[in-house]
Amino acid sequence: MSKHAEPARLTVPAIRARKGGEKLVCLTAYTAPMAGLLDPHADLLLVGDSVGMVVHGLPNTVGVTLDMMILHGQAVMRGVRHAVVVVDMPFGTYEAGPAAAYPAAVRLMQETGCHAVKLEACAGIGETTAFLVQRGIPVMGHVGLRPQAAMVEGGFRAKGRTEAERMRVLDEARAMDAAGAFAIVVEGVTGDLAGEVTRAVGAPTIGIGASPDCDGQILVTDDMLGLFERVPRFVRRYADLRGIIGPAVAAYAEDVRAGRFPAPAEQYGVKPG
């Protein structure tokens, strides 16, 4: 292989095989350009329904539709050559059970070309997961803090601080694991519970606001890059793009108003002859 050769495309089985091995690097992506920048460094890119809040300015993920997820899934797939791409099943497309989940998941995969879908834990999630997996649809699970259930649970609140919550998270993780989920996102739980979930399931766990004991980590890319003024306490900012973009736009505006942009070098000249 030449030093310029593209890395091999990862697969769903390759992600599952990383259980207990090298940590999985995962990030969110919603557009083709960003997906292209993240792809060489990530094992898995999630087209999360967080797109509703991050890109569309919605107050939560409940308003995200299947059409929105398909649109962003298509964009991300155009920018990816290496990472496994997972697309979230939005609120209302799977909670009623296999009969509702299957056609929605088929449409997601057919129209985007993605490699898997993600479901948040809910009543009967084991049955729905098994139904999809048995019909050729790879499923990533999601337990702990469930953004799509924020309206019922009174907001975005960490889980695992009571025994009842701990048992619920563990039971849901085990159910999705037994049903064939190839990986499980563990969001917003106490550190010890994240470790317990990781040890309790055969699928690799992907932590977000959880613990380094998980088999991998995921962050909302826009949070990690510092595009928002406020971010959750579990986010580590690796850049301050908000601090770069603001001054850059201000400088552009000043140059336009002063007549300094465009300069002669930034204009088209007349061709000779």
Query: Residues with catalytic annotation?
Result: 187
Which string of DSSP letters, residue by residue, matches the chain?
--TTSPPPPP-HHHHHTTTTSSPEEEEE--SHHHHHHHTTT-SEEEE-TTHHHHTT--SSSTT--HHHHHHHHHHHHHH-SSSEEEEEPPTTSSTT-HHHHHHHHHHHHHHH--SEEEEE--TTHHHHHHHHHHTT--EEEEEES-GGGHHHHTSS--B-SSHHHHHHHHHHHHHHHHTT-SEEEEESB-HHHHHHHHHH-SSPEEEESS-TTSSEEEE-HHHHTT-SS---TTPPPS--HHHHHHHHHHHHHHHHHHT-SS-GGGSPPPPP-
Per the annotation, where are the binding residues for 3-methyl-2-oxobutanoate? 49-50, 88, 118
Per the annotation, where are the binding residues for Mg(2+)? 49, 88, 120
Per the annotation, where are the binding residues? 49-50, 88, 118, 120
